[in-house]
Structure 1
Amino acid sequence: MNTTAKALIAAGALAVLASPILAQQRRGGDRLPQSCRAEIVKLCGSDRSQLRSCLPEKVSELSEGCRTELRSRMEGRRGGARAGAKAPAPQTLAYGSDSLQALDLWVPQGAKSAPLVLYVHGGGWKRGSKNSATGGSMPAHMLAQGYAFASIDYRLVPRNTVEEQASDVAAALAHVLKRADSLGIDRSRVVLTGHSAGAHLVALVGTDERYLKKVGLSFADIDGVMPNDGAAYDVAGQMSAGPKMMAETYVQAFGTDPARQKALSPTLQAAAPNAPAFLLLHVQRPDAVAQTKALAEALQRGGSQAEIGSFPGEGLRGHMEINRKLGEPDYPATPVMDAWLKKVLG
C-alpha cells in the first residue's frame, strides 16, 4: 500500500474515532460498523496521538472491509468540505418528523421558476449524510446552470427499511414541490439523482410508481432520473455476483426473501410505466458496468429513454471520484451531465 493510501486511511481513522462515533453517540451518518471500530481499537487504541503514529504502520493489518469503510468516510468528508466552500449556505427544510427527514436546498438568487435537481446520498443504505455526500462542486455548479439543487437525508438501515428510504425520497420531493412557488422552483421540471445506494433509491422511485403515489405524485412529476455508479439495480444478481465484502451490507438492506429482493430491484421493476428519461453514469467497476447495462436495456424495453455515461475510474477510488468530482468543469462526466440536463429540463 502506498504512502498516500496509508495517510488517507490514518486520517479517516482519526476523523471517525475522535468523534462521538466510537461511543455510538451519533445515529446513522458516519458511524462505522462495530467490527471495524473494534479492529481499530484493538490494533491501535483510541487515543488520537497514538492513532496518528500507529495506523500508517499497521493499516495493512486491518481487514479490507474496514480499510474500505475508512477510505469512504474520508473521501466523503473531503468532498463535503469543498462543497461548503463553493456554494452559499443552503436553507434546511424538514420534510418529516424524524431528524433524518431533512434536506438542504439551494436556489439561484432571485429565481422564480428554477428547475429542480434533487440528490440522494450513498452509504450502503446504512450511513451517509446530506452534509458530506453531495460532492465537491454540485451545489455551486447547479446554481451556475440556473438549477435549484436539493440534497436530502433519509432514514437509515437497520432502524428503517429500504422501502421507507424510497418513501423518504418521494416525500422529500413532494415537500419541495408543494412549496415550489414560494421557493422559486418550477415544479414541472424535475430530475432525481443519487450516488451508489442513492443511485439505487432514485432508480427504484423512477421505476416503481407506488412510492410517488403515496405522496400524491406520479411519474408525470419527474422529467428524468440520473443514477450515479450504482451496482444493486438487480438486487439478487448483485448479491450473488457482487463483491463478497459487501455481502453483509446487502443482506442487512435487502434480506433473503426473493420476492422482496425483486420488489426492490429497479431492473425488475422497469416494465412500463417508468420515469421518461434516464442517464445512467458509471465508472469501470465490473459489477456497476453490468448492472447499468441491464437496467438500461430493461428501461428501453419499458419505453423510457435510457442513456449510459461510461467514465474512467476503477474500484472504490473511481466510485468515490465520480461523486466527488461531478460538477467540476474538467471532469469528463460533467459536460455529459450538463448536456443531458439541458435536454431533459429545457
Structure 2
Amino acid sequence: MKTLLLSLAIGATLAATVLPSASAAPTPRAAPLPSGVREIHDVAYGAGKLERFDIYLPTQGAHDAPVIFMVHGGGWAHGDKTDANVVQNKVARWVPEGFILVSTDYPMLPEANPLQQAQFVGNALAAAQRMAGSWGGDRQRFILMGHSAGAHLVSLVSAEPALALERSAAPWLGTVALDSAAYDVTRIMQGPHLPLYDDAFGSDPAFWAAASPIVQLDGRIAPFFAVCSSLRRESCPQAQRFVAKADLLGTRASMQPEPLTHEEINADLGLPDAYTEAVEDFMRTLDPAVARRLDHGGQ
C-alpha cells in the first residue's frame, strides 16, 4: 500500500510539471503569412540540417529594425521553427510594427545535449546578427526569446553569455523566457521528474550544474523577463528563484505569472491582451527604438 501511495504521489507531482511541448505529437504549422509580411526560409548558420533559421520581415522593407530572436521548445528532442505556436501570433503582432522575427532550429537529442544546443543557439544568434543589416535589421537591437526547452536555452545563454559571445555574437538588449522547462537542473534531477529530463541531462551532477542557468548565473546580465505558468506547480517558484538571484547580482529582472497552460504561454503571445502588453512593457524598457515601434507601429 505504501508503495502504491508513493507512486500516486510522484505521479501527481509529475502531472503538475508536465510540459506539453515535450511531446513528439505533430504541432500545427503556421497559417499563411499576414498581409505586409514576407519570409526568408531556411537560412543556414552551420552545416547541419537543423542549423537553419527563418526570417519574417516587413514586405515594404525595414530600416534599423529591432530583431526578436525566437528559440522553440520541445523537450530538447522535438519541435520546429515553423510551428504555429512558435511564430504565428508573434509575427502577426510585431512584424507589422516594424520588427524582424528570426525563428531558429537547432540540433536535437540525441545528436546534441542541452549544453551543446545552447552553443548552437549562440552560433545562430551570431550568424543572425551578422546578416541583420541585409534584412534591414539592427545587429545591436536583438531580443532573445524562447519557450519551454527553448526558454531554458536562452536563459542559459543569458546566464553564461560566453556561450554566445565566444561565437562572435554581440551583446543583446534583453531576454524573454516563456515558461522555462529548467532554471535549476540540479534541483529538478534530485527530485521526482519526467523521463525527458533523464534523456536530456543524464546522471552526471557536473553536467547538471553546467546546464543550470541559476548555477551559471554569477554576475550582472542583460535585462531578463521570466513568464511562468501559474497552473504548473514548479514553474513560478523556479522562475522566482532565478529572478531573485539575478536581481541580487545587479540585473534588472522580473517575473510575470500567467494563468495559462504551458502551451498557451507560447501560442497566445501576440494576441491583443494584457499578457502580450506585459511582455511589450518589458520590451519598451530595453531601447527607445523598440519603444517607438511598439507605440507608433513601424515608425
Q: TM-score, normalised by structure 2?
A: 0.83
CA deviation after TM superposition for structure 1 residue 85, in Å: 4.4
- Alignment of 1:257 with 2:204, yes or no, is yes
**TM-aligned CA distance change 1:90 to 1:211, over 3 Å:** same
- Structure with the greater relative contact order (CA < 8 A, sep ≥ 6): 1 or 2? 2
Instruction: Give the equivalent residue in structure 1 for 2:39.
Output: 90
Q: Deviations over 1:173-195 (max 9, x none)?
A: 11111122212111111110000
* Per-residue Cα deviation, 1:208-229 (whole angstroms, up to 9, x for no partner): 12211331235xx111000000
- Select which of 30, 34, 41 maps to 1:81: 30
Q: Secondary structure at the match of 2:276?
A: helix
RMSD over aligned Cα atoms: 2.2
| Partner in structure 2 of residue 196 of structure 1 | 148
Secondary structure of the residue aligned to 1:226 is: strand
Q: Distance in 1 between matches of 2:169 and 2:87?
A: 28
1:344 aligns with 2:286: yes
> Which structure dedicates a bigger proportion of its chain to strand?
2
Structure 1 position 231 matched with structure 2 position 181: yes
Aligned partner of residue 100 in structure 1, secondary structure: coil
State whether residues 20 and 262 of structure 2, in contact with CA within 8 Å, keep that contact through their aligned partners in structure 1: no
Larger-Rg structure: 1
| Alignment partners' CA distance in 1, 2:234 and 2:138 | 36
Provide the rounded CA distance (Å) in 2 between the counterparts of 1:176 and 1:106: 12
Higher helix fraction (1 or 2) = 1
Runs (4+) of structure 1 exceeding 4 A deviation are 67-75
Deviation digits for residues 241-277 of structure 1 (CA, Å, limit 9, x no counterpart):
45x4x2x211111111111101111111111042x20
- Alignment counterpart, residue 326 of structure 1, candidates 269, 274, 279: 269
Preserved CA contact (<8 Å) 1:115 1:147? yes
- How many residues align? The count is 267
Q: Which runs of 5+ in 2 are unaligned?
A: 1-14, 289-299
Correspondence 1:281 to 2:227: yes
* Structure 1 residue runs without a partner (length 5+): 1-63
Residues in 2 aligned to 1:75 and 1:135: alpha-carbon distance in whole angstroms: 15
**Contact 1:166 / 1:201 at 8 angstroms: preserved in 2?**
yes
Name the residue aligned to 1:10: none
The equivalent position to 1:212 in structure 2, one of 153, 164, 168, is 164
Partner of 2:219: 272
Asked if 1:184 is matched to 2:117, the reply is: no
TM-score of the pair, normalised by structure 1: 0.72
AA aligned opposite 2:129? L
1:38-59 CA distances to partner (integer Å, 9 max, x unpaired)? xxxxxxxxxxxxxxxxxxxxxx
Q: List per-residue Cα deviations over 1:21-79 (Å, max 9, x = no partner).
A: xxxxxxxxxxxxxxxxxxxxxxxxxxxxxxxxxxxxxxxxxxx8xx98699566831xx
Q: Which residue of the other structure, out of 54, 57, 75, is the alignment partner of 1:104?
A: 54
Does the 8 Å contact 2:73/2:151 carry over to 1? yes
Which residue of 1 is the match for residue 8 of structure 2?
A: none
1:239 deviates by 2.5
Q: CA deviation at 1:231?
A: 3.2
The CA deviation string for residues 119-163 of structure 1, in whole angstroms up to 9 with x for no partner, is 000000001000114143011212123211000000001111212
% identical equivalent positions: 32
